[in-house]
Chain A
C-alpha cells in the first residue's frame, strides 16, 4: 500500500469521526457555555460557567447522576455475576456446541430493542406470565422490573468479552494449579479470576457506559418516582427547551463516563503479585 492510498483509506474514517463525533461534541461544548435565550435556537453564544455550575450544585441533577451511577453499577455487577459462569461454560463447552451457544447469546439482537422491552412489559405486568406463575408481588414499574430489563439488555455485552478472554486461557494453567493442591474454588479465585481481569474490565465498561445514559428501560419498566440522568437530559432538551442546561448535563455525564472507565482500565492490567 502506498502512502497516498493509505491517506485515502484513512481519510474516510477520519472524516466520519470529525463529522459525527468531534463536531457534535464541539457544538455541545459551545452550547454548554452559552446563555439560554427565548429565540430559535434557544440560546445566545457566549462564555458563562453558570450552566455547568448549576448542574453541579442543583440536587436535582446531582441526585439523578448519582442514581444513574448506582443503577449502572448494580446492573454491571449483576451482569458480571450472571455472565461469568455463562462465559466460562461456553468457553469450556465442546467445540461443536460453542458457536450455537454464542449465537444464542446474540439472538435477542435480531429483534428490535423497543419490541423486546414492550414484551417485558407484558411479561412483568400484574396479569402477566411471571406474576401469575411465580406468584411474585407487583413487578412492573418498580426498580426490580428496571433491573430485569437492564440486565436482560446488557448481559450479552458482558458475556462476549468475557468469553473471548476465557476461551484463550491456557487450560494447563488450571491443571497446574490443581496439581499443586488447589481445590476447584481456589483455582478459580487464584488463577481464572485474576487472569480474566481484562475481560471483566472490557465487559464492565461495555455495560456500565451505556447503562449510565440509559433512559428507555427506566422510563418503560421503572417507576415514575426516580429521575435518571438520561431522562433529565431528555426533559431539559425537549420539554424545557433549555439547551445550555441540557448541554451542561451532557458535559458532566461525559466527564464521568471518561473518568470511570479510565480508572477501571488501569485496574484491569494484570498486576505482578508480591
Chain B
C-alpha cells in the first residue's frame, strides 16, 4: 500500500488546477514550504490567548503542540486554519501571509476533535467534499476517494453514513477527509482523545506511519505528554499563549528549559540548589552532588525524574538518605515517597523489572536514594 500513497498526492497531470486556493498551485516541497508564525497575537476581549508567539514548522515534520487547557494551543491551531482572526502578527506559508485569508482559501486542513463529519452525507461524500470544492470532476473525485478509503483501511465503507461507524472508523474517515484535498499542512486537534486506550496506542503509530508516507507537515495538539513524546519530531510546550520551549522529544525530556517544562514533562522532583560548574550544593540537605553537565553558576533548581532515582541496591554516585512515607503498587512500577531530612518528599518510581518484587516497602523504613550525575537536570530558579 505504501507504494500507492505517493501517487495520490503527486500533482496528477489530468487534475485541474485548484481554483480557489492560489497558494496550492506551487505543489512543491522544500525548505521554503515551512510554516512560519511570527509575533502572532490573538486577543479575546482583553485577554490575550496568544501573546506575540513565534514558531517555525519545518516541512515534512510532525510537530506537537503540548500544553494544559487554556494555554492557547487550540487557539493557535484555529488561527492557522483561519477560524480565529489574529489581532496582530503573521502566518507565512510558502512566503504567502495567510492571516488575511478566510479558511476556505487556506491550503491547510483540520481534523477536528469531534471529527465534525457531515451527518447527511455518506462516508464517500464526506471524503470527497474537499476535492469537489477544488473543482475536481466527479469521476476523479470518486477515484481519489477510493484511494483515501484504502489508505485509512476502510475499503467498502464508502456508502455508509458516518453514524453507522464506530468511533475508531469515524476517526479514520475524518482523517481521510482532511487529507483528501492534499493540504500543505494538516492540523489535528486532539485527534486521539475520543478513542479508547488500546485503539489510541495503535492509532499513534498509524498516524506517524501515514505522515511519513505522505511527506506533509502535521501540527498536532494534545495535552498528553506520552502521546507527544512518542509521536513528535518536535514538540512545542505552550504556556499562557507563548512557547515555553520548542525542541525534539529528547531535548525537552533531557534538558527542559525551566521548571514549568520540566514539570509538564513529568519531572516529579524539583529542589532548590546552588550551582558551581558540575558541583551542585543542596543547602537544605547539607550535601553536595555531581552533575554530568555544568550549569550556570549561582542559585538554581535541580530536577530529578522519579524513574531515574534508585532505592537501595548498589548505590550510585549521588546519594541521600530518607524515610519511606508511602509506597503504592502501579502495575509496572512501585511508586515510593521518601521524606528527606529537611522535610522534602522525593517521588521515586521503582520499575518492577530485573527480578524486583512487587512487595511494597514498609513506611518508616530508612532507605538510601541514589542517582547518576547524568540524571541531574539543572534549571534556572
A interface residues (Cβ-Cβ under 8 A, vs B): 170, 172-173, 175-184, 186, 190-191, 194-195, 270-274
Contact = CB atoms under 8 A, between A and B. Distances in A.
A181 B119 contact: no
Nearest to B121: A273
29 contacts: A172-B112, A172-B116, A173-B116, A173-B118, A175-B116, A176-B116, A176-B118, A178-B83, A179-B83, A179-B103, A179-B104, A179-B110, A179-B178, A180-B109, A180-B129, A180-B130, A180-B178, A181-B21, A181-B130, A182-B129, A182-B133, A183-B102, A183-B104, A191-B118, A195-B119, A270-B120, A272-B159, A274-B121, A274-B122
Interface in B301-315: none
Nearest to A193: B120
Contacts of A270: 119-120
B284 interface: no
A175 B103 contact: yes
Contacts of B119: 195, 270
Contacts of B105: 181
B261 interface: no
A273 B81 CA distance: 27
Given A180-B133, A181-B104, A175 B112 contact: yes
Contacts of A272: 120-122, 159, 161
Q: What's the dominant secondary structure at chain A's contact region? A: helix
Contacts of A181: 18, 20-21, 104-105, 130, 133-134, 181
Contacts of A173: 116, 118
Contact count band on B: 20 to 34
B82 to A, nearest CB: 8
A165 to B, nearest CB: 13
Q: What's the dominant secondary structure at chain B's contact region? A: loop
A194 B120 contact: yes
A273 B110 contact: no
Contacts of B125: 273-274
A186 B104 CA distance: 11
Contact of B102 (A172, A177, A178, A190): A178
Given A179-B104, A179-B109, 18 more contacts: A172-B112, A175-B112, A177-B129, A178-B102, A179-B81, A179-B178, A180-B104, A180-B133, A180-B181, A181-B20, A181-B21, A181-B105, A181-B134, A183-B102, A186-B133, A195-B120, A272-B120, A272-B122
Interface string B91-130: 0000000000011110011101010111111101100011
A191 B116 CA distance: 11
A132 to B, nearest CB: 45
Interface in B333-371: none
B219 to A, nearest CB: 14
A81 B356 CA distance: 75
A21 to B, nearest CB: 35
Interface of B: 18, 20-21, 81-83, 102-105, 108-110, 112, 114, 116-122, 124-125, 129-130, 133-134, 159, 161, 177-178, 181
Contacts of A184: 104
A271 B119 CA distance: 10
Residue in A175, A184, A195, A270 with the greatest tally of chain B CB atoms within 10 Å: A175
Nearest to A181: B133
A182 B135 CA distance: 11
A181 B108 CA distance: 9
Contacts of A179: 81-83, 103-104, 108-110, 178
Contacts of A195: 119-120
B83 to A, nearest CB: 6
Given A273-B120, A274-B124, A180 B112 contact: no
A182 B104 contact: yes
Nearest to B174: A176
B221 to A, nearest CB: 14
Residue in B21, B82, B103, B125 with the greatest tally of chain A CB atoms within 10 Å: B103
A166 B83 CA distance: 20
B45 to A, nearest CB: 12
Nearest to A182: B133
Contacts of B129: 177, 180, 182, 190
A176 B18 CA distance: 18
A191 B120 CA distance: 8
Contacts of A190: 129
Contacts of B18: 181
Given A180-B177, A181-B181, A172 B122 contact: no
B120 A175 contact: no
Contacts of A178: 82-83, 102-104
Nearest to B21: A181
Given A176-B110, A179-B110, A272-B122, A170 B116 contact: yes
A170 B120 contact: no
Nearest to B124: A274
A172 B114 contact: yes
B120 A183 contact: no
A272 B119 CA distance: 9
A174 B104 CA distance: 11
A274 B117 CA distance: 15
Contacts of B134: 181
Contacts of B122: 272-274
A178 to B, nearest CB: 4
A178 B178 CA distance: 12
A186 B159 CA distance: 23
A102 B260 CA distance: 48
Given A181-B21, A191-B118, A175 B133 contact: no
A12 B108 CA distance: 60
